[in-house]
Every structure is written in C-alpha cells, then in structure tokens.
Structure 1
Amino acid sequence: MIFDPLFGWIGLGLMTAVLLTLCLIPVIRGEGPKWKWFVRMGVVAVLALALARPGIAQKSTTEEYEAAADVYFLVDTTTSMAAEDYDGTTPRIEGVKKDMLELAKQLPGARLSIITFASTASTAMPLTTDHAAFASAVDVLTPEMSLNSNGSSITEAGDELKARMDSNAEDRPDNKRLVFYFGDGEQTASGSPDSWTSFAANIDSGAVFGYGTAQGGKMKESQPFGYGGLPGDTDHGGQNGGGQNGNGLGTGDQYIRDAQGNPGISKIDEGNLRQIGSDLGLPYFQRDGSSPVSAVYTAPKYDQQLVKKDGRVTVDEYYWIPLTLVFVWIAVEMVFAFREFLRLRSVMPSRRGGRGGSGGPPGPGAGNHPARGLVASGTAGSGQSGGRP
C-alpha cells in the first residue's frame, strides 16, 4: 500500500487537525447530541484517508512496435550555431532542426536520443520510441549564450556518446547503432580535437552534416525565447572593447561583436568535420538548405516487431472507497438539516398566532411596560364608560 497525499503530508495534517478541532469544541461546550459530533470526527478521519490517496502499485507489461536500431543525434549547440549563413540568412541551428526531423521520419520505430555539446556535453533526451517527444525536444534546441561560452571542442560529446552506447547495449545488444553528427567544425577550445576512431567499430551507419559557409555569418545573441538583444537595448558595440561592459557583445543591433566592436563572424571548418567522418567511418555532407536531407542520405530500413516492455509501474488508487463513505454522511447531514427545517417551520406559525389572538398569552413585556399598561387601561375604559374625559 502506498500513499500520495493530495496536499502533501503537512497540508493534510493541518487540515485534519483544524476539522477535528471544529468538531471537538461543540462536544466540550455540550452543544447538540454528542454522538453526532463523534461521528463527524470519524468522518473527518475517513476524509483524511481519502485525501491521502491510498493505492497499490502494480507492475505492468506492454507491447510496442520497435525497430532494432538505436539512433544518436550529436548536436553542436555552441554560439556559432546561431550564425546566419544557412539557406542565405537562416541560423544554422534551424537547418539542424529541419534535418533531424527529416531523418527521424526515415527511421520509424527506432529508438532516438539527442546529445548536445557546447562548453560541456549532456544527454538532452535518452533513447525513446516516442517520436513526438523527440520532435518537442528538437523544437527547443538553441545555441548557448555567448556570455556562457568558454571555448568548446568539436569532439566534446565523445565521452557522453560512449557512455550512452555502452549502457544501452546491455538493454538491446542486437540493435544496430546509428550516429548523426551536426555542427560547423569550429574548434574554439585549446588543443586539437580528440580522435574518434575507437567508436567506428560500434557504429553501423550514420553521417556527419556540416552547417555554415566559407564566407561565414553574423551571430545574433541567443535568448530564452529566440535570438536578438533584449527589448530597449540601444548599445551598438559600447566603448572600451565593444559591447556592454566591454565584453564584446553589442545588443543594440542584436549581433554578437568582437573585441573591436565589429560583428563577430563564424565560418565553417570542413576539414575538422571531414576528419570526424573519417574517424567514425561515416560520410560527410555539407548542408546549405538547397535540398532535403534525403537527397544526400537515406537511412537503412529496419523491420519493426512487437517488443515486450516490463517494469512499468502503475498505481491502482482506492481513494474513492473512503470518499464514498464521506458522501453518504453528507447525505445523512442533509436529512438532519431538512428535518430541523420542518420542525422550525411548524413551530413559527403557532407563535405568531399566540401574539395576535384574543385567547393567546400576552406579548412579551405587556404587563410591565408603562406605556403598554396605559394603552391597555384606556382601551378597557373606553369600552365600558365611553372613555376618559
């Protein structure tokens, strides 16, 4: 048996304590039948049990169609991927997103994963057959902000890729492994890129895709909701080194600037990208948006088969049982309230009739109020002798 309180244990405890106190005070004061208040305390305890949401955990087995392929998308999210030289003036990262979605369509039922790398590498999405979730993860990919960039290596994702492939091979040892690399090849970290020749034996297919041009492109600063500077910024490169606070970032025209205050230019390094492809044993393609990715690469076809997936935990909740008892008592309380209403309604007309009728008792205070006494005396006199002079 497990519990998942609706308001948390602290909130549930406070609510229960308040309701029990409201029931206990009338008992101490002696207001109404005590048995009703004790029953109400019991109902509060039952309500608390319902709000604690008792349930029993159940392990379920499901079957899903799955292709015998694990696909890893390595995505460069450094600041340079915001350069506007894909398909003319489009940021490179937008071209990457478009190609990723097209490749996913070529691999129905395959398990997809996204590994991003900039200053560091991380798994943005672990392997999943949920292609809708993959599309959502692709949609939110953005380059890192220039202020957070400390230089990056184009092979930064190597350790993360190896760790993910080794771990997932234990789950599906017979699955084929595909690796797709998306980047511009710019090496801004000190030292040379690492060699990935050791990964080649573990990769069955894939490709390296390059984005950018030899002429390069300007980069708008990445923001949480798009590209460009913050609204209201008017600095056009600043003073003493260009940009606000001399950091080389001019936000007035929304473009990242170098130390001289000029727009920074990022250029593709196809030599580095070809070397990565050579290390992995994969072909290299430069992507400029002039053709769909299917024109340069076609993914292998993998048959889909039903795969049993154990270990998914579901919870059968039973809060409705104590909650039903609470509703039953609410119905009983409504019956009590209706009976009391009928009782009061039957008593009230007799009281009004007693005040106005000749045979009823005198109204409150009629015998001891001076003014009322005079009126009664005068009325009696006028009836017998014609009234006072």
Structure 2
Amino acid sequence: MRLVPLFGWPLTLAVVLVVVAALAVSARWLLRPAGDPGARTAWWRRVALGAVMVLILAGPSLPVTEAVAVSNVEIYLVVDRTGSMAAEDWAGGPDAGGGTRLDGVRGDLAAIRDAYPDARFSIIALDSAAARELPLTRDTDAVSSWIGALQQEVTDRSKGSSLERALPLLAQVLTTAAEAASENARLVYILSDGEATDDGAGADAAAAAGVSWEQLAAVVDGGAVLGYGTESGGSMRAFDGSGAEADYIADPDTGEPAVSVPDTAELQAVADALGIAYLQRTGTDDQPTTAFTDQNVDQVLSDGRERKRHTRYLTWPLGLVAAGLLIWEGAALIRADRAVRELTRPAVAARAGNQAGGPI
C-alpha cells in the first residue's frame, strides 16, 4: 500500500495543520478540569474524525496492473488523390446521380474504418508526391476527419504521378513496422485508378531505391487493391483548392475535355505482387464492401495484450468510518442542544411570569 494524495501533498499538509489547530482549541474547552464528563469523549471523537479525514485526503491506494486485450491489426491506406481520381464516372457520374471516383474512395474508406474499429490506421496520400498524412493511430475520429477532408490535388500543382511514387515510402513504413512488432498483422489497401502520368519517374525512383511490390509481400498479411473508374473513363474538372466548380481539364493535344481511363492491368499487377485481392469499383453492381474487409484476422485480434497501470484508492472504508463518526457527532450535538433547553426552561418560564405580573 502507498499514499497518493487526492489533491497533492501541499493541500493535504495544510489540512493537517488546520485540523491540529482546531483540535487544540477544542481541547482547551472540552478537557478543562471543570468540563462536562462527556466532553472528553466528544474531544476524542473529533480527533478520530479529523484523523480519518486526513487519511482520506492522503489517498491510501494500491498500484494495479491489468492486461487488456487489444487489436494487433495495422491497416495502411494508400489513397490516390491525383486529378484523374476526380473523373466523373462513378455510379454513372453527376448527371445520373453519381459522382467522382473520389466519392467511391470515401465510401470504401469508411467501410474499412468501420470493419476494424479496434485496429490502428495509417494513411499515405498519393499525388505528385507521396506523404504519410496520418501515422499509426487508434483514433478513428482522426481517420474520419481525413476521409471527410479528402480532395483531389490542386490542378496547377500537378506534376504527374503513378503508384510507384508511393512505393519507397510504403516500403519504409511497412519495414519499420515489421521490425518494431513482427507479431502484428499488416493490411494494405491501395485505392487508385492505376493511371500513370509521370512518364515513368515514379518507377525509376523506386528502382533507384531498390524496392519493388514483390518485396513488400513478405510484410503484408492482407488487404486489397481497389481500382476506380469505368472502361469508357470520364472527364474531370480542375481544382484550385477553393471548392468552386471549375472547367474540365483539357487534353493538350485536342483541346477537348481530357478523359481518364483506369489502368486495370497495373492495378492487377500490384495486387498479384503483394498477394492480395484486386477489385474494380465503378459504383454500379460492385461487390459488397465485405469482399475486401472480411479478412481472416480473428486470431490476431484476440492475441494482443496491452498492460495498463493505474492506482486503486482504498478510501471507501475510511468514508464509512467518517460517516459513522459524523452521525455520532450530530446525535451528540442534538442531545447537547436538548440539555441546554432543559436547563434554561425554568429561567425562561420565570422571566415570562415576571413580565405577566408586572405593572400595567
């Protein structure tokens, strides 16, 4: 057992001084030689009450360590937000009540989040560069906020991109995670249309870094590659960051609205290299989200243990003692008040009689 003051030692010591001073003053009156026979009992009762209150403030407690089951699943989301992901071929496009590919991405991200409420999430955003915008966290509110704020990159800043641009960063993140906790399960979800517009710059950077999708298969336990877009493709509007509706991005060769067509072969190749499933998503007759969220991680979910240390206060028995002493003190004060009234009643009656028999 140890003492952990409820309000800190300075306040506890201040209360001790106040209690000692109050008892000293009380002793002068109650313990005087001519005092009432019951006064000594009253003083010791108040000593006991003061001691109990000080002990409660001192916080007698026991350190407690608990092992709590937690999820050992880590989910890595690689989200393509290049301009082509704003192509309007999701669920028939805006004219048919649909939207852009990013609308589909938001819905699927929410489904992944809801399927693993106890997992840890990390998000890598992919546009002209790859950036880890959310480190591993169990804060699903942070994940929800990121999903809600997801927008395509600003068109004027676009320098082309490809899935390989995310490969070096993803490899670094997964390798570090595997070294830190090899027993954890790592699920990777890549959400993209697979279209490469960087003239091979991303692939060259990955090759220079000495990483490939095949190498990552050893540290990936599941997940899926989710592709977006239809065979006929769709046009996309420019984006300046303000949210105002802009013109369609033009094809530099024709001057007409450019059409983005998903590279399903690239998406399939990445999925095969990682050893995970590939599903093409168009917003029409898609497979249910359980097709990519129903991963076999039950064993991992039950294996995690997190040790939590906290202090368990043992003040409630002292509280019962204090309550008993307060009830005793209250009863004693009531008896004393009645005794005083009995002693003063003859004098009060005599005074009333004198007033009644006096001159009119």
TM-score (norm 1): 0.57
Q: What amino acid is the match of 2:53?
A: L
CA contact (8 A) 1:52 1:319 kept: no
| CA RMSD, Structure 1 to Structure 2 (Å) | 5.1
Residues 278 and 61 (structure 1), Cα distance of their counterparts in 2 relative to 1, 3 Å cut: closer
Which residue in the other structure is 1:343 paired with? Answer: 339
- Is the 8 Å Cα contact of residues 67 and 308 (structure 2) preserved in structure 1? yes
Of structures 1 and 2, the one scoring higher in RCO (CA 8 A, sep 6+) is 2
- CA distance 1:102–1:57, change in 2 (3 Å): closer
**Structure 1 counterpart of 2:253:** none
Match of 2:278 among 281, 284, 298: 284
* Alignment match, 2:124: 117
Pairing partner for 2:79 from 69, 72, 76 = 76
Name the residue aligned to 2:225. Answer: 208
Structure 2 stretches lacking a partner, 5+ long: 32-39, 92-97, 126-130, 250-257
| Distance in 1 (alpha carbons) for counterparts of 2:121 and 2:278 | 19
Matched, 1:57 2:63: yes
User: Please, which of 86, 94, 102 is the counterpart of residue 106 of structure 2?
Assistant: 94
Cα gap change, 1:328/1:318 in structure 2, threshold over 3 Å: closer, same or farther? same
Structure 1: how far apart are the matches of 2:352 and 2:319? 51
Alpha-carbon offset, residue 282 of structure 1: 3.7
Give unmatched runs, 5+ long, in structure 1.
106-110, 127-132, 220-247, 364-374, 383-389
Identity rate, percent? 20
Flag the structure with higher helix content.
Answer: 2
Alpha carbons of 1:63 and 1:25: their partners in 2 closer, same or farther (altered >3 Å)?
closer
- Give the partner amino acid of 1:285: L
- Give the match for residue 189 of structure 2: 180
Residues 28/52 of structure 1: CA separation in 2 closer, same or farther (3 Å cut):
closer
> Cα offset for 1:21?
2.5
Q: Which residue of 2 aligns with 1:161?
A: 174
**Residues 200 and 51 (structure 1), Cα distance of their counterparts in 2 relative to 1, 3 Å cut:** same
Deviation at 1:103, TM superposition (A): 5.8
Cα deviation 1:208-228 (Å, max 9, x = unaligned): 113466423677xxxxxxxxx
Secondary structure of 2:283's counterpart equals coil
Deviation at 1:43, TM superposition (A): 3.8
| 2:352 counterpart residue number | 356
Assess if the C-alpha contact under 8 Å between 2:74 and 2:187 holds in 1.
Answer: yes
Query: Which residue does the alignment assign to 2:147?
Result: 142
Would the aligned equivalents of 2:226 and 2:279 in 1 still touch at CA under 8 Å?
yes
- Contact in 1 for aligned 2:45/2:325 (Cα 8 Å): no
* Cα distance between partner residues in 2 of 1:102 and 1:356: 83
Q: Distance in 1 between matches of 2:260 and 2:49?
A: 72
Q: Cα deviations across residues 47-76 of structure 1 (Å, max 9, x unaligned)? A: 343245433234456789x9xx94524153
TM norm structure 2: 0.60
Q: Which secondary structure state, in structure 1, belongs to the residue aligned with residue 202 of structure 2?
A: coil
**1:100 aligns to what SS in structure 2?**
helix
Residues in 1 aligned to 2:325 and 2:196: alpha-carbon distance in whole angstroms: 72
Distance across 1 between alignment mates of 2:350 and 2:248: 99
CA distance in 2 between counterparts of 1:79 and 1:5 reads 56
Alpha-carbon deviations, 1:130-174, whole Å to 9, x = none?
Answer: xxx86x67544435588x9998954444422322233221x46xx
* Higher Rg of the two aligned structures: 1
